[in-house]
Structure formats: C-alpha cells, structure tokens
Structure 1
Amino acid sequence: MKSHYSDAPAAEPLARHTLAVIVDNEPGVLARIAGLFSGRGYNIESLTVSETEHEKHLSRITIVTTGTAHVIEQIKAQLGRLVPVHSVNDLTVQGEAVERELALLKVVGKGEQRVEAMRLAQAFGARTLDATLTSFVFELTGGSDEIERFIKMMTACGLVEVSRTGIAAMSRGAEGM
C-alpha cells in the first residue's frame, strides 16, 4: 500500500532576503515593525536603522530575514500595509546587492598571541582603533562571511568582546529606491 505522505509536495526551500524599508522617522515605527515580525514568528537576522533624509524625516530600515518565498511575500505585503511605511524593496529579488557590515573586536593577549592578532588584523585589512600593552580594539568592514571568519580566527588570539552593526545594503546599478 502506498503512503499519501509520499505524494505531499516537497517543502519550499528557505532563502535569505535583504529588505530595504523607507519609513517616517517617528517614535514607535521600529517597535511596530519588530512587533509584526515577532507576532507572526518571523526571525530578524540583522537590523539596521538610520535617518537618511533629514528634511523629509525619513529613515531606512534594512532587515535581513529567512523564509520560504511565500513567507517573504507575506512579510513584504504586511510591511507595506503599515501606515508609516513608504516603500518596501526586496534587494535580493532586484539582483546582487552590495552588503557591508562593521564590527569592532576587542582582543586581549601578550607575547605570541599579541603578534598573531596583529598579523591577522593586517591580513584582513582591519584597522587598529585602540592599543594598550595587553589589548587591541580592531575595526573591520566587509561582508558578513568575512567578519565571521575574522571573529573565528581572533578567538584563538584572545577575543573577549564583539560589537557588530548589522548589514547595510544597497542595490547595484543606477536606479535608486
């Protein structure tokens, strides 16, 4: 006897999407957007927010999330219905977007650990923002994968603290949002 479960459609694949959302810069907007995600059980992997047009009081929110094509379409539609939202752009659908993140890393060590931390920072193109006899604070800007590799490498050199900005992204080409 054949099982009906084998006739079930294959599960939709999950995909990572970067959304750029233009909103009014006013109190409570970010809370409403975060509430939309949490209320429906969607995860936010990265979130950055900043005012981009001071005179128009507009902010840009960049959200990285993962879901099926259906879930991503739901998220975009629900975001678009919020009153302070002016536009929702799926940078992933528009093509390869330029994505960057900034990280600060504090590394504590002496002797060979210290030398290795400096060597790795130089290899990754990280800037030294602070240096004492026992510690460094490095700054690295790049793709999330590069930052993850740098963090992993610095763990062996005495990494004690990490601060990351989240992803800032923009579509390639001449067209704006």
Structure 2
Amino acid sequence: MKKRWICLFVENEVGVLAKISGLFSAKAYNVSSLTVGMTEDVTISRMTISLMSDDQTFEQIIKQLNRSVEVIKVIDYTNMPIHMEELMYIKVLKVTEKDKAEIFRITKVFEVKVIDMGKTSVLLKCSQTEEKNNSLLNLMKLEFTNRIEVARGGSVAIEAINMPAD
C-alpha cells in the first residue's frame, strides 16, 4: 500500500462531486483527502484526491476516472514534483497564561499563525504539508491533552515548475 495523489479536472456541474466520490465508495476505495474548487475557467473544477492503494487497485481507479464523462483530465501526482498544502485549524481550550506562552513558542517553530484568542482559548491556522500538520497535531495532542479541537481541509496541490516540491 502506498500513499497516492490524483489531480482531476472535471466539469463544474451539479452532481459531479457526488458521482466521483460515488465511484470511490462503490468500489470500497478509501479516500484520505478530497478537495475541489473552481479553476481559472468557471466551467472547470480541479479536484485533489489522496488515497492509500496498491499498484493494481490504483491502475483500476485511474481507468475508471478516465472513463467518466465528466472527467476532462486525470494527472497522477504520486511521483511528480508538486507543491502541496493542507489547511488545518487547531483550537486550544482551557489555556492558562503559561499555556499561551508555550503555544506562541510552538507557532514560531512550526510557522503557524494565531488568528484568534480569548481569555481561555487560542485558535491557530496551519497551512503546511500534511506531514508537517501531522507533526504539529501530534505535539499539540501531547501538550494539551483533551483540550484541542481540530478542523482539517484536504490538501491542494499543483505541479512544480522547475524546482523540487516542498
């Protein structure tokens, strides 16, 4: 099993997301992350999909996606140099002044932003690779056990131009 990344360009129409995600669920393929948004052309949307699969299963997925009428183009990002980021918010609850100082130290090391703060809570915005976000999340779970709330979006990716991916 290997982590895979796929980029799809699809028709920007009602039901396309449901049809693509239905293709995955019908075959019991588990999607780790899926993001979708309009491109520079309002008639086309771009999907970034992450999943775990073996080579044979992945080949089947690509074939099925290419057969879908709504799919314009399929790109396998798995072994390609790409730039990718995932959006993640972490809310830390029941914080003390000492906790706030520690959170600010962590934000400097992980290059994340404090975007909101109250007397007893702090909200962080993290726009990093999935791996960096996982590292931060693991640390926050250790430091602030049972006091965090997490909201994660899927990763967005684009092919690198002439430099190695992050």
| TM-score normalised per structure 2 | 0.90
- Count, aligned residues: 159
Structure showing greater radius of gyration is 1
How many Å separate the matches in 1 of 2:61 and 2:158?
19
1:172 aligns with 2:160: yes
Q: Which residue of structure 2 aligns with residue 104 of structure 1? A: 89
Superposition deviation, residue 157 in structure 1: 2.8
Secondary structure at 1:165 match in 2: strand
Aligned to 2:6: 19
Task: State the one-letter code of the partner of 1:104.
Answer: Y
SS in structure 1 at match of 2:96: coil
TM-score when normalising by structure 1: 0.85
Aligned to 1:84: 70
Give 3-state SS (helix, strand or coil) of 2:31's partner.
coil
CA contact (8 A) 2:140 2:148 kept: no
Which residues of structure 1 form unaligned runs of 5+?
Answer: 1-13
Farther-moved stretch of structure 1 (46-55 vs 138-147) = 46-55
What's the Cα RMSD here? 1.4
For the pair 1:161 / 2:149, whether they are aligned, the reply is yes
Give the % identical residues.
32
Aligned counterpart, 1:44: 31
**1:61-84 CA-partner distances (Å, limit 9, x unpaired):** 100111111111110110111111
Query: 1:173 offset after TM fit, Å?
Result: 2.5
Does the 8 Å CA contact 1:106/1:135 hold for their aligned counterparts? yes
Rounded to whole Å, the distance in 1 between the matches of 2:89 and 2:9 is 27
Q: Which residue of 2 aligns with 1:122?
A: 108
Q: Is the CA contact 1:103–1:141 (under 8 Å) kept in the aligned structure 2?
A: yes
| SS of residue in 1 equivalent to 2:29 | coil
Asked if the contact 2:37–2:47 (Cα under 8 Å) also holds between the matched residues in 1, the reply is: yes
> Aligned-pair distance for 1:54?
3.8
Separation (CA, whole Å) in 2 of partners of 1:137 and 1:54: 34
